[in-house]
Amino acid sequence: MGVVAIGDVLFPGIDVQVTAVHATADEVVVEAAACGRPPDCPSCGRSGRRVHSRYRRRLAERPVAGKQLVISLQVRPFFCEWAGCRRRTFVEQVPDLSERHRRHSVGLRQWTRAVATFLGGRPGQRLCQTLQFPAGRTHLLGLLAAPPVAERAPRVLGVDEFAFRKGWRYGTVLVDVEAARVVDVLPDRDAATFSAWLRGHPGAEIICRDRATAYSTAIREAAPDAQEVADRWHLLHNLSAAVEKTCHQHRPCLRKRADEEREAAPRKIINPLPPPTLPPTKMAVRTVDRYSDIHRLLGEGCSISAIARRLHLDRKTVRHFRDTDLDTLLASSRMGRPKGVLEPFTAYITERFTEGVSSPTDLYREIRDRGYQGSDQPVRTYVAGLRTGTIEPARGAVPRPHKITKWIMLPRGALTRHEEDELLAIRLACPDIARACDLARAFHDLLQHRRGHQLLAWVREVEREAPAPILAFAQGLCLDLDAVTAGLTLPWSSGIVEGNVNRIKTIKRQDVRPSLVPPPPHPDPAPNMTWGFTESRPEPISPSFTTLTIAA
């Protein structure tokens, strides 16, 4: 085998001459000199002939043998001898190795750009440190450039918001629904910004959006001829919220029925519960003080906003204390019923306690045989609260409003026999919940079978007799009737847009600080560690105001 020069290994096909190599424990420094043909002046294009001087520049290169590689490159500045050129001197650049004002080689820059594209900021920074070419997260993100935005908007445009920082700053992502790719990213979610974008990029015929009024206002102002399509998932989500609110409002009906069933089978009470007494807790004392302060200020003629500012409370809290009597507030301030794995068994524990079984150990064994999978500590806490009266005894089992809503919103065939029986009993106990169930399922059929032409008939049915939350939902649909009708008729939706929003959330979760785990003692990756990239390279999206990578 022939001997291969080190220059041919490190710089294949590049016009440089290696003069020395220095290796230390941390890095390898290669001294090289540019030996190519004289370059052309970047201003006038004339070839340089006379060398001005020589100097060295340091370039970070891709690692070799698990060590950082630094190139000490000697380059030549040349005179520009044309009198009409403003440039007096210019420095040669080695093709495929150096670039002007860059401290990284061309190959290393390609590596770091690939890492930034696939991983983002902090994950990419950690990978670069492991692979021995350190790069900061801001440097990695700065390598990403936003692709050009077409002058015309896509025919079917999707729009939705996402959070740069939840609760503080939001942006808007625009998606080509037909091509399933991101078109542009806006720095906020204001109507004016979206309206300006639509004016600068005409051509959208169908715009899929959620129920946000800002986007609807922008579309009416900048693209009045576009067909708005309300997203079907958001419609079902809003309907589900209205059904759950109805179940919350009519929970006393279910409680009354459960108590009646409980009293229908009387049991001999050996050790009756002691009368509940107000526990001297900090929560109860604070509730009494807050109630007296709010009503005193109300008596002085202060408004709700003034009281909220004075007591540093939310306006909804002040209104709640104004409209609720003290006994109800004190009852809610007591130790609440246990949640989690114990809650389905609290009614049984209460019944057994009233029958005289007061040993937490015995009760724990009984509910464990009935499927309880938790520890005995919640049982002891609950029994202690029953003894002291500091906890409200569990009465007849009543399903949570969220669970009832789930039974109503799921397709009929998706419920088990037990869930069907529970839902039937709830419908018999409360006519309003039964009415909400029928209306919700009728709306779900309209949405599933694309019967948007029957929407007005459904709204008229709601207006005749329906619970207040369902009526408010129907009235909200009437304010956005055209978009809702299109959403229940056309095949377009914001599903592709929501998928890109979820991708943004995934990228944000990946770009977090590492956990406090010490780094490996050796800088090289573990022998069994492989660094793989996906076959299709994602498309970077980097708006001018910030850097955000979205994989299409």
Q: Is pLDDT at 475 greater than 70 in this prediction? A: yes
348 φψ region: left (φ > 0), alpha (ψ -120 to 50), beta (else): alpha
> In this structure, what token pair is assigned to residue 464?
């005749």
How does pLDDT run across 410-421, given as a tens digit for each residue? Answer: 987 888 888 888
- Cα 364 to Cα 342: distance, rounded to the nearest angstrom: 10
What burial letters (b/e) apply to 7-35, b meaning 16+ CB within 10 Å?
Answer: beebbeebebebeeeeeeeeebebbbbbe
- Max CA-CA distance within the chain? 115
Task: Report the pLDDT averaged over residues 498-517.
Answer: 69
- Cα 444 to Cα 432: distance, rounded to the nearest angstrom: 18
Please list the residues that pair with 33 across neighbouring strands.
17, 74
Highest mean pLDDT (candidates 235-244, 284-293, 397-406):
235-244
- Cβ-contact 69, 104 below 8 angstroms: no
- Cβ-contact 504, 512 below 8 angstroms: no
Q: Is pLDDT at 293 greater than 80 in this prediction? A: yes
Q: Is pLDDT at 490 greater than 80 in this prediction? A: yes
Confidence of residue 390 (pLDDT cuts 50, 70, 90): low
> pLDDT at position 549, please?
39
Task: Report the pLDDT averaged over residues 370-398.
Answer: 74
> In this structure, what token pair is assigned to residue 253?
């009906």
- Cβ-contact 142, 547 below 8 angstroms: yes
Neighbours of 303 (CB within 10 A): 12
How does pLDDT run across 64-109, given as a tens digit for each residue? Answer: 888 888 999 999 999 988 888 888 898 888 888 888 888 888 888 8
> pLDDT at position 275, please?
42
Q: Is pLDDT at 503 greater than 50 in this prediction? A: yes
Cα-trace Rg, the chain = 35
> pLDDT at position 511, please?
55
- Better pLDDT: 157 or 543: 157
- Cβ-contact 41, 87 below 8 angstroms: yes
> pLDDT at position 94, please?
87
Q: Is pLDDT at 515 greater than 80 in this prediction? A: no
Q: Is pLDDT at 314 greater than 80 in this prediction? A: yes
Task: Report the pLDDT averaged over residues 311-327.
Answer: 88
Per cent of the chain over pLDDT 70 is: 83
Task: Report the pLDDT averaged over residues 197-206.
Answer: 92
- Does this model's pTM top 0.85? no
Confidence of residue 197 (pLDDT cuts 50, 70, 90): very high
Highest mean pLDDT (candidates 163-167, 420-424, 437-441):
437-441
Task: Report the pLDDT averaged over residues 479-483.
Answer: 90
Q: Is pLDDT at 254 greater than 70 in this prediction? A: yes
Q: What is the CATH number of domain 156-231+493-509?
A: 3.30.420.10
- Cα 203 to Cα 227: distance, rounded to the nearest angstrom: 12
Confidence of residue 237 (pLDDT cuts 50, 70, 90): very high
> pLDDT at position 332, please?
63
Per cent of the chain over pLDDT 90 is: 28
Is residue 402 packed enough to be buried (19+ CB in 10 Å), middle (13-18) or exposed (0-12)? exposed
Of 8-12, 58-62, 177-181, which gets the smallest average pLDDT?
Answer: 8-12
> pLDDT at position 269, please?
40
Q: Is pLDDT at 278 greater than 70 in this prediction? A: no
**What values do phi and psi take at 183, rounded to 5?**
-95, -50
> pLDDT at position 470, please?
93
* Own/partner long-range contacts of 46-49 (Cβ < 8 Å, ≥24 apart): 46/80, 46/81, 46/82, 46/85, 48/78, 48/79, 48/80, 48/90, 48/92, 49/78, 49/79, 49/81
Alpha carbon dihedral 347, 353, 355, 360, in 10-degree steps, equals 120
Q: Is pLDDT at 498 greater than 80 in this prediction? A: yes
> pLDDT at position 26, please?
83
Task: Report the pLDDT averaged over residues 392-419.
Answer: 80
> pLDDT at position 489, please?
92
Please list the residues that pair with 158 across neighbouring strands.
175, 208
Confidence of residue 333 (pLDDT cuts 50, 70, 90): low
Of 149-153, 435-439, 471-475, 499-503, which gets the smallest average pLDDT?
Answer: 149-153
**What values do phi and psi take at 171, rounded to 5?**
-130, 180
Of 109-113, 306-310, 332-336, which gets the smallest average pLDDT?
Answer: 332-336
Identify which of 200, 202, 197 has the alpha carbon closest to the alpha carbon of residue 185: 197
**What values do phi and psi take at 435, rounded to 5?**
-65, -40
Task: Report the pLDDT averaged over residues 392-418.
Answer: 79
> pLDDT at position 530, please?
31
> pLDDT at position 443, please?
93
Q: Is pLDDT at 347 greater than 80 in this prediction? A: no
Listed in order, strand segments (DSSP E) in 67-215 are: 67-75, 77-79, 89-91, 156-165, 169-176, 181-186, 206-209
- Better pLDDT: 382 or 475: 475
Q: Is pLDDT at 529 greater than 70 in this prediction? A: no
Q: Is pLDDT at 459 greater than 90 in this prediction? A: yes
Task: Report the pLDDT averaged over residues 112-126.
Answer: 85
Confidence of residue 191 (pLDDT cuts 50, 70, 90): very high
Confidence of residue 539 (pLDDT cuts 50, 70, 90): very low
* Full 3-state SS string of 376-443: CHHHHHHHHHHHHCCECCCCCCCCCHHHHHHHHHCCHHHCCHHHHHHHHHHHHHCHHHHHHHHHHHHH
According to DSSP, the β-strands at 67-75 and 27-34 are parallel
> pLDDT at position 239, please?
94
Task: Report the pLDDT averaged over residues 194-220.
Answer: 91
Q: How confident is the prediction for the chain on average, in pLDDT?
A: 80
Task: Report the pLDDT averaged over residues 526-537.
Answer: 33
> pLDDT at position 523, please?
40
Q: Is pLDDT at 429 greater than 80 in this prediction? A: yes
Task: Report the pLDDT averaged over residues 243-269.
Answer: 70
- Cα 517 to Cα 100: distance, rounded to the nearest angstrom: 39
How does pLDDT run across 162-175, given as a tens digit for each residue? Answer: 998 888 889 999 99
